Structure 1
Amino acid sequence: MAAAALEPWQCVAPRRRRSAARRPRPQEAVAAPSPEAEPELDCGVVLRRIRETEADLLISDFWSLALETINKCLVKHLEQLTAPVGALSEATGELHLNSSPGESDVAPGSTPGETQVTGTCNWKCVCYGIGNFATCVIARNQLTFLLLFLEKCQIPRSHCWVYDPLFSQLEIAVLNTLGVIVLRENEEGKRRVRGAPTIFYMPHCGTALYNNLLWSNWSVDALSKVVIVGNSFRGLGERLLTRILREHYTYVAKILEGLEEHAFPQTPRYTDTFNDTSVHWFPVQKLTQLSMDTWAFQEEPDYQGCEDLEIIRNTTQDPPATDSNLL
């Protein structure tokens, strides 16, 4: 599959590194080299590694198969976004939900053998939790996949917001050079789409982050505009005790019957990078079949008494920065 190479970069940002405060994910702990073995890094070194990772990913079977999986979902999602206004209003009208008017639609590139996604949708993208890509191979694979995916889907990098509390100053500088927007505040995943079709790229994130995202967009109108690339929701439902899922991750538990999920392909080279990863979208037909009680419950998650939460909480008392509301 042909794809344009990432543009050459220049970086003039600071080279100082800041230690991360979050406990590393298991994959990061395995993949990250020891400080003694790590050469001194600067923007040029990290950008070169990203280019090398891109070249390997583009020639892999995984890239073409994963892109085909995403494209299948986006084709269906685009059909939903471009459906006549009356059809969506009729489907959601009886629920009397608070919803914002959406905008339609997108133009991802095509995958051989698949229907091409076309249109003029202004999709946004939000990425949470990729970790220390400067030193971790798994995180760098995830970032490179995101960059290539943005290009293939014709989403400008300026329409992509990225955040991880692990990011060092060097990594923030690299991301700024790449042209994506680094969020200044820890949103804990509580970002509303505000009518804009949005793809959330969240590989290997904690369950609470997905739960917070669902809570923030808990309406038929909002969720119908959301696509999530991240941990399999079906897998979460199977692995977690029913009591734990319903008590602490209520919105994940409630949405299992209102989504469509397609698993990423598994290939030996990228098993650690994208294991248990799926593409999720939320068909209006399924959402409207959920009970009124399901939508009436909108209590904000607090996770009191929840063990092994797997996310870093925002301990500041300040309101989110304005860039958290740009979608």
Structure 2
Amino acid sequence: MAAPALEPWLAAAPRKRSSAARRPRRKGVAAARCPEADGEADDRVTLRRIQEAREDLLVSDFWSSALETITACLTKHLELKATKETLSEALGNLHLDSPGDESAVSTGSVPGKTLVVGNCPLKCVCYGLGNFATCVIARSQLTFLLLFMDKFQIPRSHCWVYDPQFSQLETAVLRSLGVTVLGENEEGKRSICGEPTVFFMLHCGTALYNNLLWSNWSIEALSKMVIIGNSFSGLKERLLTRILKENYTYIAKILEGLEELEFPQASQYADVFNDTSVHWFPVQKLKQLPAEIWAFQEEPDYQDCEDLEIIRNKARQPRT
């Protein structure tokens, strides 16, 4: 079958890996409500539906409000000088404590010089997107991700996407859009390896966030991350303190070291972006946490955790 003709916005960018498992129950319920869930789709149909979802999102009040929320968070986090640096430029400098901090120069930089803007390009990782070819909710989330990257000038070649339930069609469509589809379920245990990274994790299982924090459990790494996903304060309210501390240790420990701002509410997207916040980890807050918090770095195993809302990678589990 010939490749579909793409709209200009959908045209693949030039093509220049821990994976995640989605939260099946939340997404499963959502998929059941999708009017297209029982229908067939091909790549042409799917790309057309993505284009339509883009048009709907762009004219919605939600998009402009959500964009203001994200911009407010990043502006506060980066302490931008409005006349000197754009958001997209400053995002690449997330690793700097402040504009003149020579101690935070990245590896490979000239000694005594602060990092030049653009030397450390921003990455984007999306976990748990769902079956966007047949579900309007998942498709709206994919559309938001693509628009977000366009707005903040993140090349699609810098985006990695994973969901264990992607179909072959969805994998092919994502690749045609210029993003990289990860081939292995690493359960969210992805280290950012010193590169500023935005994680897009809507409606994912709590363990996925916990695994991600464990994989980046240091002041240096966490201060370079932004997480758009389930509200951490909401998790604290919903889970018993004992369960949170025993099963999701890293979330429990980081609650005093982060800031978050909720996404706006909109009836049109009530099932799409509910319980969503932007989270970031200011260096100043992280440094105020007790030193013993950083000393504990045991890998989560969830052996005694009931109702674990992620799909495990069986090949990675210890044999009993």
Q: TM-score band (shorter)?
A: 0.7 to 0.9
Q: In structure 2, how many angstroms separate the alpha carbons of the residues matched to 1:137 and 1:158?
A: 25
Deviations 1:52-106 (A, max 9, x none): 00000000000001011111122233346441334659xxxxxxxxx98999687
2:76 corresponds to which residue? Answer: 76
TM-score normalised by structure 2 residue count:
0.82
Q: In structure 1, how many angstroms separate the alpha carbons of the residues matched to 2:175 and 2:185?
A: 17
Structure 2 counterpart of 1:222, which letter? A
Superposed counterparts of 1:135-214, under 5 Å: 135-214=134-213
Q: In structure 1, how many angstroms separate the alpha carbons of the residues matched to 2:259 and 2:181?
A: 30
Relative CO higher for 1 or 2, CA cutoff 8 Å, sep ≥ 6?
2
Aligned length, in residue pairs: 281
Deviations 1:118-140 (A, max 9, x none): x7751100000010000011100
1:276 corresponds to which residue? Answer: 275
Equivalent residue for 2:10, pick from 2, 7, 12: 7
Q: Secondary structure at the match of 1:196?
A: coil
1:85 corresponds to which residue? Answer: 101
Alignment check: 8 A CA contact 1:101 1:195 kept: no
The Cα of 1:293 is off from its aligned counterpart by 1.1
Please provide the CA RMSD for this pair.
Answer: 2.6
Q: In structure 2, how many angstroms separate the alpha carbons of the residues matched to 1:61 and 1:242?
A: 37
2:246 corresponds to which residue? Answer: 247
Q: In structure 2, how many angstroms separate the alpha carbons of the residues matched to 1:104 and 1:32?
A: 49
Q: Secondary structure at the match of 1:288?
A: helix
Q: In structure 2, how many angstroms separate the alpha carbons of the residues matched to 1:30 and 1:51?
A: 21
Deviations 1:214-236 (A, max 9, x none): 00000000000000000000000
Q: In structure 1, how many angstroms separate the alpha carbons of the residues matched to 2:122 and 2:177?
A: 19
Unpaired runs of 5+ in structure 1?
Answer: 10-19, 90-98, 107-118, 319-327
Q: Secondary structure at the match of 2:264?
A: coil
Structure 2 counterpart of 1:175, which letter? L
Unpaired runs of 5+ in structure 2?
Answer: 1-6, 13-21, 80-93
2:310 corresponds to which residue? Answer: 311
Change (3 A) 1:279 1:5: farther
Structure 1 counterpart of 2:140, which letter? N
Superposed counterparts of 1:31-46, under 5 Å: 31=34, 33-35=36-38, 38=39, 40-46=40-46
- Percent sequence identity over matched residues? 66
Q: In structure 2, how many angstroms separate the alpha carbons of the residues matched to 1:189 and 1:290?
A: 24
Q: Secondary structure at the match of 1:262?
A: strand
Change (3 A) 1:46 1:6: same
Asked whether 1:62 is paired with 2:62, we answer: yes
Q: Secondary structure at the match of 2:305?
A: coil
Structure 1 counterpart of 2:28, which letter? R
Change (3 A) 1:157 1:34: closer
Structure 2 counterpart of 1:310, which letter? E
1:113 corresponds to which residue? Answer: none
Alignment check: 8 A CA contact 1:232 1:277 kept: yes
Change (3 A) 1:104 1:176: farther
Alignment check: 8 A CA contact 2:120 2:195 kept: no
Structure 2 counterpart of 1:182, which letter? V
Alignment check: 8 A CA contact 1:105 1:197 kept: no
Alignment check: 8 A CA contact 1:175 1:181 kept: yes
Q: Secondary structure at the match of 2:269?
A: helix
1:324 corresponds to which residue? Answer: none
The Cα of 1:308 is off from its aligned counterpart by 1.1
Superposed counterparts of 1:78-157, under 5 Å: 78-79=78-79, 81-82=95-96, 83=98, 84-86=100-102, 122-157=121-156
The Cα of 1:27 is off from its aligned counterpart by 1.9
Indicate the larger mover: 305-314 or 23-32: 23-32
Change (3 A) 1:122 1:78: farther
Equivalent residue for 1:26, pick from 15, 22, 29: 29
The Cα of 1:49 is off from its aligned counterpart by 0.1
TM-score normalised by structure 1 residue count:
0.80
